[in-house]
Amino acid sequence: MMKQVMTLMAALCGVLPAQGPQQGPVVVSPEVHADRRVTFRILAPKAGEAALFGDWMKVGTTVPMAKGAGGVWSVTVGPLEPSIYIYHLVVDGVTMADPVNPRVKLRARTSASLLELKGEPPTIWDARDVPHGSVEINWAKSKVLGGETRSFWVYTPPGYEKSGGQRYPVLYLFHGSNDTAGGWVLAGQANYILDNLLAEKKAVPMIVVMPFGHAVPFGSPREVQAKNTALYEEYVLGEVLPFVEAKYRVKKDRASRAIAGLSMGGGQTMAIAFRHPEMFSDVGAFSAAIGPDAMERVPAVAKNPFRTLWFACGKDDGLIKRSEELDALLKKAGVAHTYKATEGAHTYTVWRKYLAEFAPLLFRN
C-alpha cells in the first residue's frame, strides 16, 4: 500500500506547485455537456493507468480513462438522469476523490466527489426559489459513548425562528454505513426536499434530527460492530432525543415523533421502532439492512401498530431480500404497512425519491 501511495504522489507531482502559477494544462472535471453526458479528467502525467467509478455503475466495476496530451487522463460517460451522484477516481490502484472538484462527499472513512446534474423542470431535491429552512450543527458530549463529543444536524422549517410558541413534530432521520451525520444534507438534499414539499403544501412543517450513526468506530472488528445498533439506540433515545426536546420547540408525544433511515440507518430504524412502538407513530426504511431482531418483533408490532409503516428498496439492491422477508412477515401478522420494490440500486438517487414520498405521509391524523 505504501508503494502505491508513493507511486500516486509521484504521478501527481508538479500538478499544483506550492507557489506560483499552475504548471501544465488546466484541468476541468467534471464537465457536464448539454446532452447530460459528463467528462471526467485528471492530470497525472506519470501514472500508468486511471479509471472512474460512479454510483450509477454496478458496484465493483470501473470505466478506464484514456491518457491524452500533457498527461491528462479523461473519460466521457452518460447521458445520466438528473441527480446528484457520488464518484471517485482510481489512479495506479489508489482510490481518490477528484482533486479539482470542490464538492467532496465526506465519509466515516475516505472521501469521494459529488456530481450534480440539474433537472428541467427542477427535481424535488433541487434548490428552488422558495422559503428555506435552516440546518444547525449541535455538538454535545456523550456519556453513553465514553465521553466522546460528537455532532448531530438539525433542520428547522422556514419561519421557525419567528413562529413564537408554535411547537413542531420531529423526524429522526438516520444515514447509512460509512456516512456522516451530514450525509442526508450534503448528499441527500433533505433540507431542500422538505423546503419544496412545504412550499407545495404537501408536507407538515417538521423538525428533522440527523445523528451520526456509528456508535462504535467504523471498520471495527465484527464482534464490536455487532454492538453498534444497541449502543446507537441508547445514544439516540437517552441523549439526542432529550437534548432536542430541551432545546427546540418540539411536541413530545408519540403522535409527533417519526423515525426513518437508509441502509444501516434503515436497519437501526426498524430495530429501535420495533422495540419502542410506544415512542414513534411513523416509521420509514429505505433499502434497509434489516436485522433479525426486527423480524422477531413483528408480533409485538401487531399489538401496537404504527400510524405509518413504509419501506422500499431498489430491485437492483443487494438488500432487497430482507425487505421482501419483512413484507411477508408483516402480511402474515396482519400489520398494516406499505412496501415498494422500485427501480434502482443502493444510491442516494433512490433515497431522495423515497424521502420525498415518505415525508408527506408524516403526522397526518
Predicted local distance difference test score (pLDDT) of residue 119: 86
Domain boundaries, the chain: 27-117, 134-361
Predicted local distance difference test score (pLDDT) of residue 3: 46
CATH 2.40.40.20 fits 27-117, yes or no: no
d(CA 163, CA 185): 23
Give the number of C-alpha atoms closer than 13 A to the C-alpha of residue 160, restricted to the C-beta side: 23
Burial 80-90 (b: 16+ CB within 10 A, else e): bebbbbbbbbb
Which amino acid type is present at position 33? Answer: H
Predicted local distance difference test score (pLDDT) of residue 219: 87
Cβ-in-10-Å burial (0-12, 13-18, 19+) of 98 comes to buried
- Residue length of the chain: 365
Predicted local distance difference test score (pLDDT) of residue 23: 61
Predicted local distance difference test score (pLDDT) of residue 1: 44
Predicted local distance difference test score (pLDDT) of residue 24: 65
DSSP string, 98-152: -TT---EEE-SSSEEEEEEE--SSPPTTS--SS---EEEEEEEEETTTTTEEEEE
Q: How many other β-carbons are positioned within 10 Å of the β-carbon of residue 360?
A: 14
Question: Which CATH number is associated with domain 134-361?
Answer: 3.40.50.1820
Taking only the tens of pLDDT, the chain with its 365 residues reads 444 444 444 444 334 443 344 566 789 999 999 999 999 999 999 999 999 999 999 999 999 999 999 999 999 999 999 999 999 999 999 999 999 999 999 999 999 999 999 988 999 999 999 999 999 999 999 999 999 999 999 999 999 999 888 999 999 999 999 999 999 999 999 999 999 999 999 999 999 999 999 999 998 998 998 999 999 999 999 999 999 999 999 999 999 999 999 999 999 999 999 999 999 999 999 999 999 988 999 999 999 999 999 999 999 999 999 999 999 999 999 999 999 999 999 999 999 999 999 999 999 87
